[in-house]
Chain A
Amino acid sequence: MNIPKITYKRNANFNEKLQSFFVNISGLTVFNIEFFKQLFTLPVDIEQIKKHMSELGVKTFSIVGIMGFILGFVLALQSYPVLERFGATDFLPATVSLSIIRELAPILTALIFAGRVSSGIGAEISSMRVSEQIDAMEVSAINPFKYLVVSRVIATTFILPILTIYVIMISLIGAFIAVIMTDNMSLIYFMNAVISSIAFGDFIPALIKTYFFGYIVGIVGAYKGYTADGGTEGVGRASTTAVVMASLLILLVDMVMVKITVWLWPSIG
């Protein structure tokens, strides 16, 4: 695999930055193609995938949980006075749950996941690159791409939807706690209102896009790590640029996916 690569320059001029941008795009494209080639090459490393899924899940479980609780709590607190002004506080569970399920939980979980995991993958693989551990795998006739990249990307792709469902549940708990602090709404009423307001078009597209977000987090982190150079400075650079690139791509893909969802299910637009 020949990944287009550019050597990092301090004080690069505009032309060099532009060149670096396009090299990054082509490099990431080649990396993606290689991923799909290797994905369908046997054997599948199930043990590694399971290991990474549990590690990544444990690593982000608490932080996304806290974020989810605060998200639901704050959203309910902020929405209540507005709805109260129109005498529509009964719509609070539906408003909050739809906002959380359709957009806020998937995107915020993905961004936090990118910050925590993309940088971690970038740092881990880049430090292996600069300390010749990846070269050591190659000379031992071991496929480092399959071992290091494929298993991690599969793990991030499948763990993020699970984390998003968890965040949705925690957010709804946070929202309910905020509601009972301001209004005497019962749990049963709240849950009924939430369930009756959610349709297929709300939940499934939101969940599907989290697979794409998870894939972006994994592939960008791995790409930045795998192509790192320049010693310890390169490790730091791989880790930070992985977060920036993954976050931007997540937002971009979200925009496209929302447009596709609205086009496919006009009723939810």
Chain B
Amino acid sequence: MKKPIIEIKNLEKSFGELRILNKISLDVFEGENFIVFGQSGTGKSVLLKCIVGLLIPDGGDILLNGKSILNLPTNELNEIRKSMGFLFQGAALYDSMSVRENLQFPLIRNYYFSKEELDHKVISTLNMVGLESAIDKMPSELSGGMRKRIGLARAIITDPKIMLYDEPTTGLDPITSKEISVLILELQKKLNMTAIVVTHDLLCAEIIADRAIVISNASIIKEGTIKELTSSDNKLLRNFFSNEIIKE
């Protein structure tokens, strides 16, 4: 039986009185593309930020490769973070740096590469996302889709084993959205990464998902393949996945 690479056990998170995650448990297996669905404000991004240590959960545990990442000292957490990539919703490119510098930044700060190795790594990664021509552009000169691709390139340049995507296709037109989804799938296969993708884009999920969950009211209401979720009789799921509006 496959061993889970990410295990989340009874995860709880609140902001003040507002309960965002209530005893969320899930396992993600090696090489899997795992989708987290849910309406806006249901805590999908909070879940990702807990996994990467940006937010500290109120309860429960998160295990990566069987090791709990909660309460780790910063240097140990950083070692784990080096094996992870994160694509932010707005790409979070560093405004004051060119595309080349954005990609070089994590390599320069965490590893030792010669100038030639750095250049080679940057160019080959940009080649993977099809944007080598943008190497000397500034983030302000890029379109939304290009920003996502560069954000993706920056996330994968350190060869992560786990990729976390926060709404990778939000705000993009359907064609670009499809291109990004296909790119995510290609990269996952090429680099053999395990991915958790937070989204509410069904098309994106259909392209990349192996398995998915739906979060509502701080809890997981359904887990399964996309086909199982979309064919469910649950009113909330039917509302979520179909064009019709089903009233209570």
Query: Of the 9-residue stretches B21-29, B87-95, B120-128, which lies at the interface with chain A?
Result: B87-95
B106, A142: Cβ atoms closer than 8 Å: yes
Query: Of the 9-residue stretches A127-135, A186-194, A219-227, A245-253, which lies at the interface with chain B?
Result: A127-135
B81, A141: Cβ atoms closer than 8 Å: yes
Q: Is A66 an interface residue (CB 8 A)?
A: no
Q: Is A140 an interface residue (CB 8 A)?
A: yes
Q: Report A-chain residues with C-beta under 8 Å of the C-beta of B81.
A: 138-141
Q: Report A-chain residues with C-beta under 8 Å of the C-beta of B53.
A: 138-139
A139, B90: Cβ atoms closer than 8 Å: no
Which residues between 136 and 194 of chain A lie within 8 Å of chain B, taking CB atoms? 136, 138-143, 147
Q: A131-B90, A132-B90 are in contact. Are A139 and B52 (CB under 8 A)?
A: yes
Give the distance in Å from the alpha carbon of A140 to the alpha carbon of B159 in the complex.
Answer: 12
- Contact residues of A: prevailing secondary structure: helix
Q: Report A-chain residues with C-beta under 8 Å of the C-beta of B109.
A: 140-142, 147
Q: Report A-chain residues with C-beta under 8 Å of the C-beta of B86.
A: 136, 139
Interface size class on chain B is 20 to 34
A139, B94: Cβ atoms closer than 8 Å: no
The count of residues in chain A whose C-beta lies closer than 8 Å to any C-beta of chain B is: 15
B92, A141: Cβ atoms closer than 8 Å: no
Give the distance in Å from the alpha carbon of A131 to the alpha carbon of B151 in the complex.
Answer: 13
A141, B79: Cβ atoms closer than 8 Å: yes
Most buried by B among A127, A133, A136, A138: A136
B54, A140: Cβ atoms closer than 8 Å: no
B110, A142: Cβ atoms closer than 8 Å: yes
Give the distance in Å from the alpha carbon of A172 to the alpha carbon of B79 in the complex.
Answer: 56
Give the distance in Å from the alpha carbon of A51 to the alpha carbon of B96 in the complex.
Answer: 13
Q: Report B-chain residues with C-beta under 8 Å of the C-beta of A139.
A: 52-54, 81, 84, 86
A132, B92: Cβ atoms closer than 8 Å: yes
B48 to chain A: closest residue by CB? A139
Q: Report A-chain residues with C-beta under 8 Å of the C-beta of B90.
A: 131-132
Q: Is B158 an interface residue (CB 8 A)?
A: yes
B56 to chain A: closest residue by CB? A2
Q: Is B105 an interface residue (CB 8 A)?
A: yes
B88, A132: Cβ atoms closer than 8 Å: yes
Give the distance in Å from the alpha carbon of A139 to the alpha carbon of B92 in the complex.
Answer: 11
Which residues between 43 and 58 of chain B lie within 8 Å of chain A, taking CB atoms? 49, 52-54
Give the distance in Å from the alpha carbon of A136 to the alpha carbon of B106 in the complex.
Answer: 10
Q: Is B78 an interface residue (CB 8 A)?
A: yes
B106 to chain A: closest residue by CB? A140
Q: Report B-chain residues with C-beta under 8 Å of the C-beta of A138.
A: 53-54, 81
Give the distance in Å from the alpha carbon of A205 to the alpha carbon of B96 in the complex.
Answer: 38
| Given pairs A131-B90, A139-B84, A140-B110, 7 additional interface contacts (CB within 8 A) | A132-B88, A136-B86, A138-B54, A140-B105, A141-B82, A141-B106, A142-B110
18 inter-chain pairs at a CB distance below 8 angstroms, sorted by A residue, are A128-B95, A131-B90, A132-B88, A132-B92, A133-B93, A133-B94, A133-B95, A135-B54, A136-B86, A136-B88, A138-B53, A138-B54, A139-B52, A140-B110, A141-B78, A141-B79, A141-B82, A141-B106
- Lowest 7 A-B CB distances belong to which pairs? A141-B78, A136-B92, A132-B92, A140-B106, A141-B81, A139-B86, A142-B109
